[in-house]
Structure 1
Amino acid sequence: MAGYDTFVSPDVVRRTRPLVTMVTVLLGMWLFGNLYEEIVWIPRLIAHPRAGTLVEAFAPGSPVYYYLPWIPVAVALAGLLRLRFGALVPSRIRRSWTGAIGALAVAMAGKAFLIIEVNPVFRDPAATTRLVHDRAILWASCNGAVIVAVATALVLLRVTPRLR
């Protein structure tokens, strides 16, 4: 019967809902933080490239405090959801959760690249305005891919079991 593959017991829905909700909230924080960078911070830096504009990684106001504690927790919870409940849900939902974890891996790799390779240029007071501008363009492009990956993960994780 078509569509039957999406239905599961009420117990599985009840047991997965808290994890799905926590992951959704945490990934939503990540998504909106990246959107803020993409819409507010990066266009300003592209329009007026100045070296030394980014606060130090652990200085007050650094986005590290916004991202660092929550992103690994969200990714770990998404993995826990898949590992703990993957065998209890239909294959379509299991594939969706696996795809979400893949999208999160892409997002984390993109963000790691930006933080390790691009951020130091923004902090370097000796960087030329041309270099800062070029790296801001690179940041906007890669950060856009991160936004798409996190949004994709959110959509795929929201494919939750439905009651029979």
Structure 2
Amino acid sequence: MQRRRHAGLRTAAELGLAHWFFGNLYEEVVRVPARIAEQRPTGGPFAPGSPVRYYIPAAPVTLATTLACVATGWHRRADRPALTAAALLTASGAALTGHLVRSVNLRLLDGAGRPVDPAERQRLVERWHRVNRIRLVAVGAAAVALRACGRTGRR
């Protein structure tokens, strides 16, 4: 029973991590922060076009299922390194996301505040891309680590 519950949690966590990874990969490829900055949106982080709107529903589920997967799989000694890596990488991805939201996204999305001059806007967009690439590695590696759980027959 516990093995099935762990497998279900792992699947849910992997789906959440895939949503997170491919959403950020899409934003990277089509340069979403630059598009948002060019539009000069108003209305803050929940304005139309804001990425927050499609991450808010999935973020808590992804974090919760990943941590629950770690907790339910911890009894398997052979899986502990992969579970530890998955937990740390997921937490790193969440921390990087928090940093980006606070230091870049809110500034680009807040049309009510002090206007962003073109040079600052360019610096913010470049910072977003640098940090996002690190986040992509962390989230992708977390999914790979979760996938590695249960591969061995040892307990």
TM-score (norm 1): 0.80
Structure 2 residue identity aligned to 1:146 = R
Structure 1 residue identity aligned to 2:86 = A
Indicate the residue corresponding to 1:4 in structure 2: none
Q: Structure 1: which 5+ residue stretches go unaligned?
A: 1-10
Paired with 1:124 and 1:64, the residues of 2 have a C-alpha distance of 13
2:121 corresponds to 1:135: no
Paired with 1:65 and 1:51, the residues of 2 have a C-alpha distance of 17
Contact 1:49 1:129 in 2 (8 A): no
Paired with 2:53 and 2:38, the residues of 1 have a C-alpha distance of 24
Given the superposition, is the C-alpha separation of residues 162 and 124 from structure 1 closer, same or farther in structure 2, using an over 3 Å criterion? closer
Q: Per-residue deviation at 1:52?
A: 1.6
Paired with 1:14 and 1:134, the residues of 2 have a C-alpha distance of 47
Greater Rg over alpha carbons, structure? 1
- Give secondary structure in 1 for the equivalent of 2:46: coil
Q: Structure 2: which 5+ residue stretches go unaligned?
A: none
Greater RCO structure (CA 8 Å; 6+ sep): 1
Give the one of 67, 72, 87 matched to 1:84: 72
TM-score (norm 2): 0.84
- Give secondary structure in 1 for the equivalent of 2:126: helix
2:51 corresponds to 1:63: yes
Aligned residues: 150
2:84 corresponds to 1:98: yes
Map 1:105-120; keep pairs closer than 5 Å.
105-120=91-106
